[in-house]
Amino acid sequence: MPEDDADRDQRLAVVVAKPRAQTVIDALTDEGVYDADRSVRSWDDDGVAVPVTAPPQTVDVREIVQQVGEPRLRTLEDHLRQRGWTDDELDAAPSSWAVVGSVVLVDVGDAPRPEEVGQALLALHGEADTVLDRGGISGDHREPNVTVVAGEGDTETVHTEHGTQYGLDLAEVMFSPGNKTERARMGDAVEAGERVLDMFAGIGYFTLPMARAGASVTAVERNPTAFRYLVENVMQNGVDRNVQPYRADCRDVVPEFAREARADRVLMGYYEAHEYLDSALDALASGGVLHMHEATPEALVFERPIERLEAAADDAGRSVEVLDTRRVKGYSEGVAHVVVDARIE
């Protein structure tokens, strides 16, 4: 039976706090009641109205309301066309971006009128309030280069994925949305009570899901800003009993760590991790598992990191059993972000 005008104009939405918007959208999608044909809209000073097809049964919300709902412009191209962009201009528009908490991260590249791109992304993602054009990562502390292109300009946010909350300032510390699956994987990989060393902990990218799974994690980070967020995130996620944070160079922590008891698992979530393999092997117990990340040219994917690991193990008088290899994402043109998991005897 066709909808009448009243049915189309008055539909349901749930009101939630803006910081929860993306988490709620994911939960509503899982329940099958998120209405992707309408836009998320601002509701009051700190809330947004998320469109639904029926009242949710499993998701906590502030209230259920009637919302006037215009059909959603479903893509960035739709929004830019509405702003008068030509086909040639659309060819230069970004094809991918990521929502991190209340911030949209995008590489604007050569797109004309970056502010219009930002405004279109805010219209597409009603749960966001700032759009950042992201450049590269530079410096010893792996600091991001970002520019505000639209919105409020607030770069500090809380991002939630798989139940883990990450507080961070995207203008101060790096966050890679493409590592989402790998972060979840590490939470699944550990056993309760395992002793883990996270040599490059950052804000707790991998530390937090492992600690939430019951592992005892020594988390080392030398960037003072990232370390501050690491400590705050440990408290926010309620895992302070499971995490021992150090603001230091991991090579300075390993000797003391190894004297107490070696790790069941060592995580090296840094693209130049091979430079620290001697320390990682010193920290790892016999039979322990090493997770080594690397940015590898496509022609050398898996071959180079495995060779580097085997050479370092040989120098330490140890053996390597490769358990798994994974491509996480593209790192740059012709370069892949890969991980090698290996048991070290």
Measuring CA to CA, which residue among 218, 213, 215, 219 is closest to residue 193?
215
The per-residue pLDDT for 4 is 46
Q: What is the DSSP letter of 59?
A: S
Measuring CA to CA, which residue among 223, 236, 220 is closest to residue 268?
220
The per-residue pLDDT for 253 is 94
Largest CA distance in the chain: 76
The per-residue pLDDT for 10 is 59
Q: Give the count of beta carbons closer than 10 Å to the beta carbon of residue 261.
A: 9
Domain definitions of the chain by residue range? 6-68, 76-154, 175-344
Q: Give the count of beta carbons closer than 10 Å to the beta carbon of residue 330.
A: 13
Q: Is 83 annotated as a binding residue?
A: no
Spacing of C-alpha 113 from chain mean position: 28
Q: Is 319 left (phi over 0), alpha (psi -120 to 50) or beta?
A: beta
The per-residue pLDDT for 46 is 84
207, 217 contact by CB (below 8 A) = yes
What amino acid is encoded at 23 in this protein?
T
164, 208 contact by CB (below 8 A) = yes
Decide yes or no: CATH 3.30.460.80 for domain 175-344: no
Per-position DSSP letters for 191-248, written without gaps between them: -TT-EEEETT-TTTTTHHHHHHTT-EEEEE---HHHHHHHHHHHHHTT-TTTEEEE-S
E strand map for 152-204? 156-161, 164-169, 195-198
The per-residue pLDDT for 86 is 94
pLDDT string in tens for the chain (345-residue length): 344 444 444 589 999 998 888 889 989 999 999 988 787 887 887 888 899 999 999 999 999 988 765 555 678 998 898 899 999 999 999 999 999 999 999 999 999 999 999 999 998 888 899 999 988 776 666 778 899 999 999 999 999 999 999 999 999 998 988 899 999 999 999 999 999 999 999 999 999 999 999 999 999 999 999 999 999 999 999 999 999 999 999 999 999 888 888 999 999 999 899 999 999 999 999 999 999 999 999 999 999 999 999 999 999 999 999 999 999 998 888 999 999 999 999
Rounded to the nearest 10 degrees, how much is the dihedral formed by the CA atoms of 98, 101, 103, 109? -20
Q: Is 221 annotated as a binding residue?
A: yes
Q: What is the value of pTM for the model shown?
A: 0.80
- Those residues whose C-beta lies under 8 Å from the C-beta of residue 195, and which sit 6 or more positions away, are 215, 216, 218, 261, 262, 263, 264, 265
149, 108 contact by CB (below 8 A) = yes
- Sheet strand arrangement including 143-151: 97-100, 103-106, 130-138, 143-151
Q: Which overall architecture, per CATH, does domain 76-154 show?
A: 2-Layer Sandwich (3.30)
Per-residue pLDDT of 163-183, as tens digits, reads 999 999 999 998 988 899 999
Q: Decide whether 76-154 matches 175-344 in CATH topology.
A: no
The per-residue pLDDT for 36 is 82
Spacing of C-alpha 175 from chain mean position: 6
97, 105 contact by CB (below 8 A) = yes
- Those residues whose C-beta lies under 8 Å from the C-beta of residue 63, and which sit 6 or more positions away, are 14, 15
- 289's enclosing H/E stretch is strand 284-297
- Cα separations in angstroms, 157 against 16, 101, 166, 236, 323: 16, 6, 8, 13, 36
The per-residue pLDDT for 3 is 46
Q: Is 191 exposed, middle or buried (CB count within 10 Å of its CB: 0-12, 13-18, 19+)?
A: exposed
